[in-house]
Chains A and B, each alone.
Chain A
Amino acid sequence: MMDLTPDAKRRFDEYLQRVHTALRGTRAIESGEVEQNVREHVEFALAGAPAPVGAEHLGAVLEQLGPPERWLPEEERPLWRRVGDRILHGPEDWRLAYLTFAVFSLTIVFFPVGGVLLLIPAFLLARAHVELLKARGEELGPRRWLVLPPIASVMVLVTASALVTPIALSLVLGGERDTLAFFGFDPQDRYDRLRLHAGFAATGTGIGWLVLSAIFAAMLPQMQKLFAPFLASLRRTHALTLAIAGAVLIGIGMVVLYVM
C-alpha cells in the first residue's frame, strides 16, 4: 500500500476517477483491471521514494503515465473522440478530411436553423482538400467518403436550382394576367387560361434550358474544375441533350399557345 500525503492521495484519486470516466461504457475493457494496472505501475515507480510521497513526486509519475484517457485503446474510444483526436493529433493528411466532414455534419444537424449556410465552408474545405491532393499527385482514396459529400451536395443543389428556376419562373409569370396581356393574349374562359399558363410554362422552361445549355457548353471546364472530381466525364456534346429538351419544350409551348 502506498503512503501518500493527503494532496498526493487526492491527486491520485482524481486520476483514477478520470480513468474510470474514460472507460465508462466500454465493454472490452474492465476498469477494475485498468485501475489495478495503474496502481501497480505507480507503486513500482514510487518504490524507494521517501514516504509519505508528495503530490509533486506522484505528479511526475502520473505525467509519465500519460493522460487517463490514454488508457482506453483507440479502437474502443467513442467515435466523436476518435474524430476529435484525428483532427488534433492524427496524420496530417486526414485532418482536413475530418474537418470537412465535421463542418458538413454540422450543416445537416443545424439544417432547420440555417445550417445550410455551413455548406459553403464545408464546400470550400472539400475543394481545398481535393486541390491539395491533386497538387501532391495523391489519390483521395477512402477520404472521398469524408470529402466528397459537400461537393456532391453543392453540385446537386446548383444543378437542381438551375433546372427548376426556369420552370418556377415561367409558371409564376404565365399565371399573371399582365404577362398574358403583354404578349397579346386574352383568355376567354378557365380552360383557355389553363392552356395559356401551360404554354407559357413550357416555352419559358424551354428558353431557360436553352440558355442553360449554352452556359453549360461555354463554361464546362470551369464547372468541371469547381466540382472536381465529379463531371470529369462530361463533354460539351452533353449540353446538346439539354438544348434539345429545351427546343422540344419551346415547340410544345408554341403549339399550345398559337395552334391549339
Chain B
Amino acid sequence: MTLHCFAMPELFYENWTTQLRKGLLELAILNVLGAGPLYGYEIVRRLGDADSLVITEGTVYPILSRLRNEQYVESYIEESTSGPPRKYYRLTARGRSELRKMNEHWERLHEGIGQLRKERGR
C-alpha cells in the first residue's frame, strides 16, 4: 500500500505525458508540414527541436504512412545534389483542412485549460 502510494504519482505523470505526446504527434507532424514540403529526416529533426516532443525517431515514419493512407499527406521523390534521393512529404488539400480543424480544436482546448487554471488561481 505504501509502495503504491509513493509510486503512483510519478508513474501517473509519466503515463500521462506519454499519452499526451502520442496524441499530439500527428498534430505536430501536420503543423511541421504546414510550412512546406519536407523529407522524413528533416521532419524528425524539427520535431526533435521541440523539447516536450522528444520522441523515438522511428515512430514518426509509421505516422507519416498512416497520414498518407488517410490522404492527409502525399509523398514524392526528389533527387538531391548532396546525398541520396529524398522522399518529401507535403500536405494535401484534405490535410490542410483537417489541420485547420485540429489547430482550432487545440486552441479551444488550450484556452479551456488556461481558463480552469486562472479560476484556480483566483
Contacts and interface: CB of A to CB of B under 8 A. Distances in A.
Interface of A: 28-29, 33-34, 36-41, 43-45, 47, 64-68, 70-73, 75, 91-92
Interface of B: 11-12, 15, 19, 39-41, 44, 56-59, 61-63, 65-66, 69, 83-84, 86-87
Nearest to B85: A40
Contacts of A41: 40-41, 44, 57, 61
Given A28-B69, A71-B61, A40 B41 contact: yes
Which of A38, A40, A45, A70 counts the most B-chain CB atoms under 10 A from its CB? A40
A68 B62 CA distance: 12
Contact of B41 (A28, A34, A44, A73): A44
A66 B65 contact: no
Given A40-B86, A41-B44, A66-B58, 15 more contacts: A28-B69, A29-B62, A34-B61, A36-B87, A40-B39, A41-B41, A41-B57, A41-B61, A43-B83, A66-B59, A68-B58, A70-B59, A70-B62, A71-B58, A72-B62
Would you list the 8 A-B pairs with minimal beta carbon distance, nearest first?
A: A66-B56, A66-B58, A44-B41, A73-B62, A65-B58, A70-B58, A37-B61, A65-B57
A5 B44 CA distance: 26
A29 B65 contact: yes
A201 to B, nearest CB: 51
Chain A contact residues, majority secondary structure:
helix
Contacts of A73: 62-63, 65-66
A226 to B, nearest CB: 22
A70 B56 CA distance: 9
A33 to B, nearest CB: 8
Nearest to B55: A66
Most B CB atoms within 10 A — which of A45, A72, A73?
A73
Contact of B15 (A28, A39, A71, A92): A92
Given A36-B87, A40-B86, A92-B11, A64 B19 contact: no
A64 B41 CA distance: 12
B40 A40 contact: yes
A162 to B, nearest CB: 34
Contacts of B57: 41, 64-66
Contacts of A71: 58, 61-62
Contact of A43 (B11, B61, B84): B84
A64 B62 CA distance: 15
Nearest to B56: A66
Contact of B56 (A34, A44, A64): A64
B86 to A, nearest CB: 7
Contacts of A40: 39-41, 84, 86-87
B2 to A, nearest CB: 16
Contacts of A72: 62
